[in-house]
Amino acid sequence: MTEAQMLPRLIRLGPNLYGAVFTLMKLVPAQYILRRALQRGELTEDTVIVETTSGTFGLSLAMQAALMERELILVSDPAIDDNLHRRLTDLGAKVEMCLEPAPVGGYQGARLTKLAEIRASLPSTFCPEQYNNPDNARSYHVVADQLVRTFGTVDCLVGTVGTAGSMCGTGGGLREYSSHTQIIGVDSHRSVLFGQPDGPRSLRGLGNSLWPANLDHTLFDEIHWCSAAEAYAQTRALHAESALFQGPTSGAAHLVAQWWAAKNPDGLCVVILPDEGYRYQATVYDDAWLAANGELLAERPTEPVTVASPAEAGDRWTRLVWGRRSYEEVPGVVPRVTHPLAERALS
């Protein structure tokens, strides 16, 4: 698969708003990380690729491993849906499930522990370590280059934050061309990434129970948190109004980007839309499922509630001016949540 095939389509969504529309965004870091491992001699014919994931990075790895004819073991949790599980196994991946969360780090902590056990039992493994591998963020510089070639200056980049690779990589690349570019991260409530306490999250694909080493807080101008219902409603609106059939992370990002673009008519805004919506046809795109799960929103919000600290964030769409500060400089953040197996950053 070529680099050009993995890059997003750039689609105009409004007078000053463009979507970077991916079919499967995580193919970008998956291919880059595995190629770099091959170049460094870390991935031989006998090396087993192992990783912890419950989403599209696992699918991207499975696609690449199948093309490379390498064995792949993925450690996941109940967030993985049946259709994705079936597709992973069809591609030849072995999926190990963690059915109970860990006391620290939730399911992600449990998955890291299981991952370490698997690696200890095998003679040769390579772990992409999507949360801590700087190659994750580096891989997205090709996206920043694409945006600069197309638009010149991008005044605002909006996208969701999970491993932080796409936003820190793309945003960091844009800042090399224009220091004034605003970077707005979209998170879910009860994610630890920007100062909220850890808790259950039905909105997946963004947020985290642990800090990824790839996250550079000082890049971000604003942070927005949104609820699952708000993200799902905006996902459906994006489909109905722009004919873009994307997943709920795209809906969450588009909710914020549409608002920013309207507030700043003279600024060019690009929103990252990570993956297509086919995995969500029986959930996000099903009114009966939304109603049964209490996620059917009667009316979409038009603007966020602005707060001064993460401690003030409620359960609806909320905005905090982060101001390119470090985590410790922002008032009201909870103590950093770590897991001993997530502390090792790659050199």
Q: State the DSSP H helix or E strand holding residue 140, giving kind and residue range, or none if neither.
A: none
Is the pLDDT score of 72 beyond 70?
Answer: yes
- Who wins on pLDDT, 1 or 218? 218
Contacts of 304-309 with C-beta under 8 Å, sequence gap 24+, read 304/224, 304/256, 304/259, 308/332, 309/195, 309/333
Cα 90 to the chain's mean position, in Å?
24
Q: Convert the pLDDT of each residue in 181-223 to its tens digit.
A: 999 999 999 999 999 998 888 888 898 888 888 999 999 999 9
**pLDDT (0 to 100) of residue 215:** 95
Cα separation, 257 vs 272, in Å, equals 9
Confidence of residue 177 (pLDDT cuts 50, 70, 90): very high
Q: Convert the pLDDT of each residue in 43-53 to its tens digit.
A: 998 999 999 88
Cα separation, 196 vs 176, in Å, equals 30
Yes or no: say if 328 and 102 are a contact pair by the CB < 8 Å rule. no
Mean pLDDT (whole number) for 128-157: 95
Q: What residues does 20 pair with on adjacent strands?
A: 10, 272
Cα separation, 336 vs 191, in Å, equals 11
State the helix-helix crossing angle for 82-90 and 56-68, rounded to 10 degrees.
10
**pLDDT (0 to 100) of residue 254:** 98
Q: Mean pLDDT score of the chain, rounded to an integer? A: 92
Cα separation, 52 vs 108, in Å, equals 8
Yes or no: say if 238 and 307 are a contact pair by the CB < 8 Å rule. no
Cα separation, 107 vs 100, in Å, equals 7
Q: Convert the pLDDT of each residue in 244-269 to its tens digit.
A: 999 999 999 999 999 999 999 999 99
Mean pLDDT (whole number) for 2-19: 91
Confidence of residue 336 (pLDDT cuts 50, 70, 90): confident
Confidence of residue 341 (pLDDT cuts 50, 70, 90): low
Mean pLDDT (whole number) for 6-11: 94
Q: DSSP labels for 26-85?
A: THHHHHHHHHHHHHTT---TTPEEEEE-SSHHHHHHHHHHHHHT--EEEEE-TTS-HHHH
pTM exceeding the 0.85 threshold for the entire prediction: yes
For the beta carbon of residue 292, count every other beta carbon within 10 angstroms. 10
**pLDDT (0 to 100) of residue 344:** 43
Mean pLDDT (whole number) for 264-290: 96
Torsions phi, psi of 32, nearest 5? -65, -45
Mean pLDDT (whole number) for 72-91: 90
SS3 342: helix
**pLDDT (0 to 100) of residue 346:** 32
Q: Which residues contact 279 (CB under 8 A, 6 or more apart)?
A: 81, 83, 84, 247
Yes or no: say if 208 and 109 are a contact pair by the CB < 8 Å rule. no
% of the chain exceeding 90 in pLDDT? 78
